[in-house]
Chains A and B, each alone.
Chain A
């Protein structure tokens, strides 16, 4: 019996573990390895440079710039989609008619490709005939002139707005899932005790939504560390690196400048950042499980 179980364990796990090991884990270890070398991608001889790449990162102004942009991106990606998603979820978790249709509308952008989302928003920001400038003209009367994606001061934020539009639905469903797990009797009890609508939301709903909030925030952070496609399509990190994030910067260092060793060290840093967020996330999930069990 025991032997049979062991056979099946190995037989069933072999393929998934082999594929995962060869195409995910091993490349990850390889990235660590390259991060200590000065490999350029083609030459046969490269050498170990120890921590030189990581030391280089510290003084690299473009790296600092990309890190700051990633932090800005992450902060806004937490505030805009998460707060927006929470607001939408609170509005939809009432007996409002048509809630289901509204949910679909807010959720729809999630299933669109980054390429398509980028395309749509490039047209919204288009300086001559884009919707945004047209709307500004309609309100102020002055002719439109601002090239949202081509100006260093607005490029990053313009992409973040597009990103938030796409991601808000995800935060919304996470909060909706959290809301359905709040027992109605708690709200009724609060109502009987004379709590106002605002007090009920603040002291009962939001307090009990804390685990869902942690999940939504952690996911925002993780997703912003991944953010690549939409930036690549909308700005390519430009103008003048003004919308470079770490993921974008790593790509251009490795595949445009062929500094594979250096790019790998940026990957390692990105890995460590993600790892720290995941640790917090898994810990909170455990608490969440204990809470509902």
Chain B
């Protein structure tokens, strides 16, 4: 082993399988398909099918009538493709509000939390000061606490401000609760921008703002993608804050909407399934397109301190 390259490069399967050259940076861990691989493949396939079953269940429910489900055929493959549950779900008068509200909360809260994370992350990475390490740790630890512990004071605060039963508390709280992860990731990303680059720009008369927007941000696009997918998913999927801060039906977000529609006996199971699928669609699409960033964000947020 000549250098530490193998430790950082993930896998390079294109390396020719020459057994006796330990000097190549990435020697495949095993060189042939053995019986082990076959066993592994079978195990993984079984596990993957088990893992997919719950999700498939929801898809099937969306394609069936209440009668079908009540008679125990939820888990059978439907013979005809019946999309009426989706039509019913979308035609429900409240559902439109739910989706619009969720979007009106998710978009500004995602953008807001990332913006504040950029500002703070830049200072912690490029303009450290006495005690900034501790301040940074305090902010980042906010990521780990159960949000319920600040629920009562927040409720009281927004009540006093007269903002209960509007979308504002959700937007504001999601921005505030997103600051820890956004600051953490942006700081780690800005840390890879060489200090010399910033100094050179400053000496030439550029302001910190110019350095931030012209030098640091352009190289941090992957971090923005990571945070965008993560924040979007979390905020879209949130249930707790709308539960606390909203009362009237036309202020609810989609996740709370699903639960409250479930309480009404008029809404059929299949319609609930269809609505769950529709509600998951945005995050599923984000996941499929930005999988790499999503996973990177989850691991970085978890592993890097």
Query: Residues on A close to B: CB < 8 A?
Result: 1, 4-5, 8-9, 12-13, 15-17, 19-20, 22-24, 26-28, 30-31, 34, 41, 88, 91-92, 94-98, 102, 104-117, 119-121, 123-124, 128-129, 131, 134, 165, 170, 173-174, 177, 180-185, 187-188, 197, 212, 215, 219, 222, 225-226, 228-229, 232-233, 247, 250-251, 254-255, 260, 263-264, 267-268, 270-271, 274, 277-278, 281-282, 285-286, 288-289
Cα A274 to Cα B116 in complex, Å, equals: 25
If A13-B120, A27-B150, A174-B299 touch, does A183 touch B6 (CB 8 Å cutoff)?
A: yes
Cα A68 to Cα B245 in complex, Å, equals: 30
* 29 CB-based A-B contacts, threshold 8 Å: A5-B208, A8-B123, A8-B127, A12-B122, A16-B117, A16-B120, A16-B139, A31-B152, A95-B13, A95-B28, A95-B33, A96-B44, A97-B37, A108-B55, A113-B255, A113-B279, A115-B256, A115-B276, A123-B61, A123-B269, A129-B74, A131-B57, A174-B303, A250-B149, A260-B152, A263-B152, A267-B150, A270-B149, A288-B303
> Could you tell me if B7 and A183 are in contact, using CB atoms closer than 8 angstroms?
yes
Query: Residues on B close to A: CB < 8 A?
Result: 1, 4, 6-8, 10-11, 13, 22, 26-30, 33, 36-37, 40-41, 43-44, 47-48, 51-55, 57-58, 61, 69-75, 116-117, 119-120, 122-123, 127, 129, 137, 139, 141-142, 144-154, 156-157, 172-173, 175-177, 179, 183, 202, 207-209, 212, 233, 236-240, 243-244, 255-256, 258-259, 262, 269, 272-273, 276, 279-280, 283-284, 286-287, 291, 294-295, 298-299, 302-305
Q: A267-B152, A270-B146 are in contact. List 4 more A-B contacts (CB 8 A).
A: A17-B120, A20-B176, A30-B152, A180-B10
> Could you tell me if B299 and A173 are in contact, using CB atoms closer than 8 angstroms?
yes
With both beta carbons as reference points, the residue of chain B lying nearest to A100 in the complex is identified as: B291
> Could you tell me if B259 and A233 are in contact, using CB atoms closer than 8 angstroms?
yes
> Could you tell me if B142 and A267 are in contact, using CB atoms closer than 8 angstroms?
no
Minimum CB–CB distance from A91 to chain B (whole Å) comes to 6
